[in-house]
Amino acid sequence: MWLVTGGAGFIGTNLVLTLSRRGDPVTVIDDLSRTGSHANAELLLDAPRVNFIRGDIRDPATLDDLARDLPEVMHIVHLAGQVSMLASLNNPLDDFSRNAQGSLNLLEAQRRFWPHSRSIFASTNKVYGSLSQYQVSEGESRYNFPDGRIAFGTDLPVILQGGYSCSKGCADFYFRDYRDTYELDTVVLRQSAVCGRFQNASADQGWASFLTKETLAGRRIQLHGRGKQVRDLLDVDDLVDLYLSIMDSTEVAGGCFNVGGGPERSISLLEFFDELRIRGEKPAFDAGAFRPHDQMYFVADTGPLEEQFGWTPKLNLMEIIDRLVEFERTAARP
């Protein structure tokens, strides 16, 4: 039995539909507070072997009730939470309750009711802060590292900056601590630049999907910064494959990994716009002020994931962008 929190969100919907197609029983709990989650929930309600519960894991009683009905949970994927840095700065108490308190409640439920299960927590590269300790050089279309570094591992120092980083970092550390203190089987994935189907992106999260959607709609885009920030795109289908590989593994050493598309899938916003132009689209944009604590460059070192789970992303950068364009074109049709 799988339990997926936030299962009607972007990643959750893709994961749950994949599990349903595999014939795996899965219970979804989601409070449907995110944009687009109601529509995603309708898809899940029609999927076989999916049990959908509308609930909020910030309420411990909700998890107590869930445990009475689900005594045999073996796989937990924790995706519920608040995903916007700007929203976290506007309402830090709500951000903390959703990302930190809700996560601690779930860990307590795992400890009390499902101690033999394995859990995956979707953390974020934002736990590393702005990475301002590294001096980037500015190229024509992207920022680069002068020392030739192209990817980061989890040996980066954790520097929590801004509400979202602090709340997700708190949950990140709790998952790692419960692994050490209570010997729970927890896995932390510090994810970056995931994109794909069912992502209701905004200017503050899901940048590749957002830029694609705005370009297709013919709207002028206000950038945060000059567009030279670099990320490594990862299609959500490849991320789901990673979740399955982790859950299918007999043992997980270390318990904490950076997750992205890796150096081969790194791209700046300006380079992304060039790819949209190649596909016949006409992005229009203006440079603007940087977001607080924004990273000029982040690319994940995915080598440890390949070594331990045999996982590498299947889709290359061009395929990822083609799928984004097709999905957003389809979503925009009446």
171 has a pLDDT exceeding 90: yes
- Given 128, 134, 143, 164, the catalytic residue: 164
Which residue pairs, CB below 8 angstroms and at least 24 apart, start in 287-290?
287/223, 287/225, 287/226, 287/227, 288/222, 288/223, 288/224, 288/225, 289/224, 289/225, 290/224, 290/225
Mean pLDDT of 125-148: 92
Mean pLDDT of 258-276: 97
CB count within 10 Å of CB 289 equals 10
Report the CATH architecture of 2-332: 3-Layer(aba) Sandwich (3.40)
Given this model, what pLDDT does residue 332 score? 63
Given this model, what pLDDT does residue 333 score? 53
Let me know: does 89 contact 126? Beta carbons within 8 Å: no
Given this model, what pLDDT does residue 145 score? 86
What confidence tens digit (pLDDT) does each residue in 7-44 have? 999 999 999 999 999 999 999 999 999 888 999 999 99
What confidence tens digit (pLDDT) does each residue in 48-72 have? 999 999 999 999 999 999 999 898 9
Mean pLDDT (the chain, rounded): 95
What confidence tens digit (pLDDT) does each residue in 312-327 have? 999 999 999 999 999 9
Active site residue 164: yes
Let me know: does 80 contact 29? Beta carbons within 8 Å: yes
Name the pairing type of β-strands 137-138 and 143-144.
antiparallel
Domain boundaries, the chain: 2-332
Mean pLDDT of 258-277: 97
